[in-house]
Structures are given as C-alpha cells and as structure tokens.
Amino acid sequence: MDYIHINQNDFLHRKHKKHREEDVAICVCKYDANDPDSACGETCLNVLTSTECTPGYCPCGVCCNNQRFQRCEYAKTKLFDTGCRGWGLLADENIKAGRFIIEYCGEVISLKDAERRAQAYETLGIKDAYIISLNAYESIDATRKGSLARFINHSCQPNCETRKWTVLGEIRVGIFAKHDISMGTELTYDYNFEWYGGAKVRCLCGAACCSGFLGAKSRGFQEDTYLWEDDDDRYSVEKVPLYDSAEDEPLSKFLESTDCFNQEFVSNGKDDYSSVMDVDVESNHLLHSNALSIVPLDSFSMNGVDDSHEKTILSSEDSQVAYGQRNVMISPIQSNIVCQNSHIGTVPVLKKKLKRFPMRSTKRFSQKAVDAKFVAQLLADKEAQDEILSCEQMKNEAASNLEHLYNEIRPAIEEHERDSQDSVATSVAEKWIEASCLKLKTEFDLHFSIIKNIVSNPVRKKRDIGQEDEKRKEEEHQKAAAVPIEGGSF
C-alpha cells in the first residue's frame, strides 16, 4: 500500500500544542569546547527527564546535543524484504547501545479514531498494522503517512525499544537501540505495549521466548481481537492448538452433556467478568519457535530483492534528503508479501482444522462463561461441590476488590495520564498489579478445581439432577406440611 513519507507528526484532531515560554525547560549545561559531551550530554537535566532542549533557549546554543528529534538525527537504515513478515528495516551502520535511531512519525489521532481506523483497515483487508499508542488519549497512525520507522517489525527478543520524549511541548516516540547493533542486522522492537492492531497476527520473530502473537500483552484492543483466515502464515493458526469454540475445547467434550460451557458470555451492561472463562488460551507457548527459521539477514542480498514485486528500496539517507520536502510520496510499496511457507518447519503440536472463511472474513473469539454453581450441582460429592463454590466465592471477591481498587485509584491514573507520558506511580501500580494477579489466581484456582473435581468425581446426569431436585422439593414440601404451626390449636 502506498504511503506518504513524513518526518514530523501530522496532527489531525487538534493543532500542535503552543509551546509557551514559561513551559520551556532550560538546562544548566555549560559548553566546554574540550568536552563535547558537556553540551547537553547524559547529565543534562533535560536529557535526564527525556525532554529535548528548545532552540534559542539552550545555554549551549547550536552545540546542544539534545535536539535529535528536531534535527532528525537518525541512524542510517535501509528497507529490506523479510519474506514472511513483509518489509523490514535494517541497520545500515553499526549502532551503539542507547542511540536514537529514528522517530515513529504518523498521523496523531484520538483514541476513538484509532479504534475506528483499526476496524476500517481490517474491513479493507489491510493486514499490516501501523497504529501505536502515544499517550492515554492519542495514537500515532503511520498507515497513510509515516516515517521509515513504520517498517520496523516486532520481535519478542528485540534489539530496539520505543521511548517517549517531550519535544517542544509535544510527546514524540523514538526508536532507540537497546544494545549495540551491527550493520546489516534487522531492527526490531517489542510491539507488546504499543500494539493497536485489530487482527490477531501470529508472530514469526523466531525468538526462543516468542509469545506467539503480536501484541499479546498490549492493552489496546486486546479484548477484541480477530483472526484473519487465509493462506498467509501470519494469519493462520493451523500449527497452534487454539481452541476457539466450545466443541474444540477438550474439557467441553467431556461436559458436552451438561451444557455448562456452552453459554456464550453475554454482556448485560453490568459485565460480570467474574464468570468469564477466556478460552483463547495463551497456548502460544506451544508454538515451537525453533521450528521457525526466519531467513537470515546476512544471506539476504539487498540487490537480490525479487524485482517482480517492483519494490522501492529506500534508505534513511534518501529519507533525510526528503526532510525539508515533507510529504514525499513513496510508490509503489507493496508491504504485503504473500508468504511462501517454505521456511516454516512443521511443528508437532495438536493440529486443528479451522473453518475457512471466504473473502478473508474475520472471526471473533468468543469468551465462554463457566457456571460454577451448575458444575457443582453436577457432582455427587459434597466436598467437591463445596470446594468449587468456595473457589467461586474467592474469585468473585477478588474481582470486586479489583473493581473497588480501580475506582479508588482512577483519579490518580487519570491525573497522571493527563500530565505525564508514562505510567502511574509505582505504589499505585503495585497495588493494581497485586489485585489483578489475585484475581487471575482465583480464576485459575476455580477452573483448576472444576477440572480436577470433574475428572476425579462421578458426574450426575442432568436428567438425574432434575429428578433429584423434584424429589428433594417434594420431600421439603412434605416436611413443611408435617410441621405443626407454632402455637396453633385447632
């Protein structure tokens, strides 16, 4: 897909913030000609707070080393064809750890628009996702306009990272080297915390610690992910045991007669997350990453790119020439290369035949609710019943505790997100993490207890339960009728 090359963010839903004089951060560095690092190096107050110096205000004047975003002081990079992951960006020089490599530029849009756009792109069949998070309210979309940073692929073991800097009053996202990177190496960063792609995309980074899917941990649209179903390896999951329906789940087969896993979780406005069992298991660990061999970069010749795709190789030098001539059109760029499969080894894991959807239709992952009370009823053993019910109670308590905590810390979170670019105070985050972990643990305990007890105890038939219930009601009725009314004398 064509895109417009830019080296500065384009603000769509608002104007660039006015950088008022009283807001300019002025450092106390003194330039010493014998020590180049004295001009806003590591110890500069602005550098320490990830803020760029403002031209005209910095005591080091033109010698200031802390205006890298503003001056587009990018490392040399080159576009290349990764084969299976589309285009990628590689280092075209040796890059030292910590170095600013390139700014992630694009259109700055509101969170709502990001959501709308992500869905629209998906509908249009645009599978490469370029939206990243800027702050709590805004995102950067590099789909239609962007810098070369839009071509940096994800890796679960990346050599780069994103960092947010304040430049002339605005937050900007830069890609920085995590460690020394040698020339010719592909640049990658971990999308997990920035990922706003709607589609569920299988990760082909090949790292031993691969989490299986892009953005598996991102906060963005994670609860609303979709799976592309076509012949592209990134979007098919045949080698991953992913259970996406009640019939697929081995446990549900066992419980087929009971119906207890066959209820779709339906939000009734007052979402009872406490009863949600997410069957979209992060079973990705079963994806044997060593079976995926990514085409080694050193065997890739830049000149040997398959010409049939008529792709343009654009180096960062080209893009720096383009700096000053903003909005240069790069065409034609074909970012979606059909994967050949040839480098993908076979993975000896449970194979599940997925239903194929015509026209790249998308399929929503559903969340299944587990009715713990109903499951408990199915068990003949009273102890097993009690265990499940007590686990459910603990899970409900943990969920409501988390909800209360959220209400308590919401002002702190919102306040912090308004004023700062990063996360909330550690103490708040710690409380939140602790409560979240407890909720997850209690959910796990409940599901574990259900599985354990169902596997090790006799299960009553639904019909029998009905009959027993009837019998019990009848007995209770008779008992009640037999009890003499207190004080009554006829």
Ligand X SMILES: C[S@@+](CC[C@H](N)C(=O)[O-])C[C@H]1O[C@@H](n2cnc3c(N)ncnc32)[C@H](O)[C@@H]1O
CB 63 within 8 A of CB 71: no
Cα–Cα distance for residue pair 132/139, rounded to 1 Å: 6
Question: In angstroms, what is the minimal distance from the CB of 194 to ligand X?
Answer: 10
Question: In angstroms, what is the minimal distance from the CB of 451 to ligand X?
Answer: 33
CB 378 within 8 A of CB 464: no
**Which of these, 93, 49, 73, lies nearest to 183 by C-alpha position?**
93
Q: Given the rule CB under 6 A, which residues bind ligand X?
A: 85-88, 127-130, 150-151, 153-155, 197, 201, 203-205, 214, 234, 335
Buried b (16+ CB within 10 A) or exposed e, 249-280: bebbeebeebebbeeebeeeeeeebbbbbebb
Question: In angstroms, what is the minimal distance from the CB of 85 to ligand X?
Answer: 4
Tokens of 404: 């209360």
Neighbours of 216 (CB within 10 A): 18
Q: State which residue, 126 or 399, has the beta carbon closest to ligand X.
A: 126
Q: State which residue, 67 or 77, has the beta carbon closest to ligand X.
A: 77
Q: State which residue, 54 or 162, has the beta carbon closest to ligand X.
A: 162
Q: Decide: residue 352, CB within 10 A, 0-12 exposed, 13-18 middle, 19+ buried.
A: middle
Q: State which residue, 310 or 386, has the beta carbon closest to ligand X.
A: 310
**Which of these, 109, 92, 67, 101, lies nearest to 174 by C-alpha position?**
101
Question: In angstroms, what is the minimal distance from the CB of 333 to ligand X?
Answer: 8
Question: In angstroms, what is the minimal distance from the CB of 366 to ligand X?
Answer: 23
Q: State which residue, 140 or 372, has the beta carbon closest to ligand X.
A: 140
Q: State which residue, 66 or 211, has the beta carbon closest to ligand X.
A: 211
**Which of these, 17, 50, 41, lies nearest to 421 by C-alpha position?**
50
CB 226 within 8 A of CB 362: yes
Cα–Cα distance for residue pair 177/159, rounded to 1 Å: 6
Q: What is the DSSP letter of 353?
A: P
Got the DSSP string for 432-473?
HHHHHHHHHHHHHHHHHHHHHHHHHS-B--HHHHHHHHHHHH
Q: State which residue, 179 or 309, has the beta carbon closest to ligand X.
A: 309
Kindly report the three-state secondary structure assignment for every residue of 304-350. HCCHHHCCCCCEHHHHHHHCCCCCEEECCCCCCCCCCCCCECCCCCC
Cα–Cα distance for residue pair 246/367, rounded to 1 Å: 10
Q: Which residue is nearest to ligand X (CB)?
A: 86
Question: In angstroms, what is the minimal distance from the CB of 150 to ligand X?
Answer: 5
Cα–Cα distance for residue pair 232/399, rounded to 1 Å: 39
Q: State which residue, 341 or 400, has the beta carbon closest to ligand X.
A: 341
Question: In angstroms, what is the minimal distance from the CB of 173 to ligand X?
Answer: 12
Cα–Cα distance for residue pair 335/490, rounded to 1 Å: 92
Question: In angstroms, what is the minimal distance from the CB of 88 to ligand X?
Answer: 6
Q: State which residue, 103 or 392, has the beta carbon closest to ligand X.
A: 103
Peptide bond between residue 332 and the one before it cis (omega within 30 degrees of 0): yes
Question: In angstroms, what is the minimal distance from the CB of 234 to ligand X?
Answer: 5
Q: State which residue, 203 or 454, has the beta carbon closest to ligand X.
A: 203
Q: State which residue, 197 or 220, has the beta carbon closest to ligand X.
A: 197
Question: In angstroms, what is the minimal distance from the CB of 12 to ligand X?
Answer: 19
Question: In angstroms, what is the minimal distance from the CB of 214 to ligand X?
Answer: 6
